[in-house]
Amino acid sequence: MRDTLPLLDLTDFPAIRRHRLDTLQVNLGYKCNMKCVHCHVAAGPHRTEMMDEDNLALIPEVLRARGLPTLDLTGGAPELHPGFRALVRAARAQGVKVIDRCNLTILFEPGQDDLAEFLAGQGVEVVASLPCYSVDNVDKQRGKGTFDKSILALQALNRLGYGQPGSGLELNLVYNPQGPSLPPPQAALEADYKRELGEHFGIRFNRLFALANMPIKRFGDYLLSKRQFHDYLRLLKENFSAANLPGLMCRNLVSVDWQGYLYDCDFNQQLGLRLPGAGRPHLRDLLGRELDGQPIRVAEHCYGCTAGQGSSCGGALHKEPS
């Protein structure tokens, strides 16, 4: 297994720069109760990397100092960090919107019995991974039994008000392709999800985010093992759309790793492509450093965000009407 996969020449990828920062996306650690095939972090139960207390304490300070409206928590399973709930409370006390990127099965892990109630009580937006609405496809990608647990978790969230009209509790699902292909049109796929999950399981949710798989870490190793790595990169590049450039998440988001270091996005983080600038930019630097207008580091995987309908933390960039 490789930690970093080869990147091809990128002289033709457009130079892009940052807009105003509005989202702090923090990876609290790589420990996870799952080990998914498509994971670009290579997270799993064996990982021990977790953010320490000093860096954790900096997060509310940075949110306050910069007036940032959104805190996006990811991992691994971010809920496994011992400081997860205290961080959520601190951010919500400041009026910051908190997003929890949740794998759903975490709700059934020891010590997480009241996690759903906690998230609802704090008004946290849940972005939940569900790569398909059929049991076979989900279990193949994420492990046997995952689909059934995911359905039970979604039903529990629905009972608390998530995904229900007028509740203010937002529940969004995430789709990833099974292999080296681009996601289908997001609007049509969302309609399919809502029909299938509603009719068969009574599940409601707000939106579906269709994300392209990134050819790094575990998914990159999978592609290499199937001798599909460069073919997939070629597919991404051939489907490049300049219309997606203005909406790229790296323009108004900064990614923070478990050690507090800064990157333009979570994908650059996994490849060790640090935020441009002198030294090694750290979370504490955001207390006094402006990022507006700064260049963004690009590499071959950037075509994954610009191919076809585009791909970002909020799903497709070029959305078709429902």
178-203 pLDDT tens trace = 788 899 899 999 999 999 999 999 99
Mean per-residue pLDDT for 298-310?
89
pLDDT score of 114 = 97
Q: How confident is the model at residue 289 (pLDDT cuts 50, 70, 90)?
A: confident
Its domain, for residue 118, covers 23-306
In DSSP terms, 74 is beta-bridged to: 27
Number of structural domains in the chain: 1
% of the chain exceeding 70 in pLDDT = 89
pLDDT score of 321 = 41
Please report, for the domain that includes residue 259, its CATH number: 3.20.20.70
In DSSP terms, 26 is beta-bridged to: 73, 256
In a domain, residue 152? The reply is: yes
Judged by DSSP in three states, 261 sits in: strand
Contact present, 130 and 138 (Cβ < 8 Å): yes
Judged by DSSP in three states, 263 sits in: strand
113 or 214, greater pLDDT:
113
Mean of per-residue pLDDT scores for the chain: 88
Q: How confident is the model at residue 299 (pLDDT cuts 50, 70, 90)?
A: confident
Residues 6 or more apart whose Cβ sits within 8 Å of residue 196? 133, 134
257-267: burial string, b at 16+ Cβ within 10 Å, e else = bbebbbbbbbb
Distances (CA, A) of 131 to 31, 37, 245, 261: 20, 11, 25, 30
In a domain, residue 3? The reply is: no
Q: Over 60: is that where the pLDDT of 137 sits?
A: no
35-39, 173-177, 187-191, 239-243: the lowest-pLDDT one: 35-39
pLDDT score of 285 = 93
Torsion angle of C-alpha atoms 47, 49, 53, 54, degrees rounded to 10: -170
* 115-122 vs 146-159: helix crossing angle, rounded to 10: 40
Structure tokens, 108: 């059934």
pLDDT score of 142 = 55
* Rounded Cα–Cα distance for residues 205 and 130 (Å): 12
Contact present, 298 and 13 (Cβ < 8 Å): yes
In a domain, residue 171? The reply is: yes
Q: Over 80: is that where the pLDDT of 132 sits?
A: no
In a domain, residue 317? The reply is: no
In a domain, residue 129? The reply is: yes
Q: How confident is the model at residue 205 (pLDDT cuts 50, 70, 90)?
A: very high
Mean per-residue pLDDT for 293-318?
86
Cα 217-252-321 angle, rounded to 5 deg: 85
Q: Over 60: is that where the pLDDT of 3 sits?
A: no
Half-sphere exposure of 243 toward its Cβ, with a 13 Å CA cutoff? 10
240 or 138, greater pLDDT:
240
Structure tokens, 281: 């930019």
Judged by DSSP in three states, 295 sits in: strand
pLDDT score of 316 = 81
* 47: phi then psi, degrees, rounded to nearest 5: -75, 140
Q: How confident is the model at residue 24 (pLDDT cuts 50, 70, 90)?
A: very high
* Rounded Cα–Cα distance for residues 66 and 24 (Å): 10
106 secondary structure, DSSP code: G
* Rounded Cα–Cα distance for residues 28 and 75 (Å): 6
Which amino acid, 264? D
51-90: burial string, b at 16+ Cβ within 10 Å, e else = beeebbebbbebbeebebebbbbbbbbbbbbebbeebbeb
pTM: 0.91
% of the chain exceeding 90 in pLDDT = 63
Contact present, 248 and 16 (Cβ < 8 Å): yes
β-strand pairing of 171-175 with 23-27: unpaired
Question: Please, what's the largest Cα pairwise distance for the chain?
Answer: 55
Distances (CA, A) of 140 to 143, 173, 226, 321: 6, 18, 16, 31
28-32, 135-139, 204-208, 262-266: the lowest-pLDDT one: 135-139
Structure tokens, 77: 């399973």
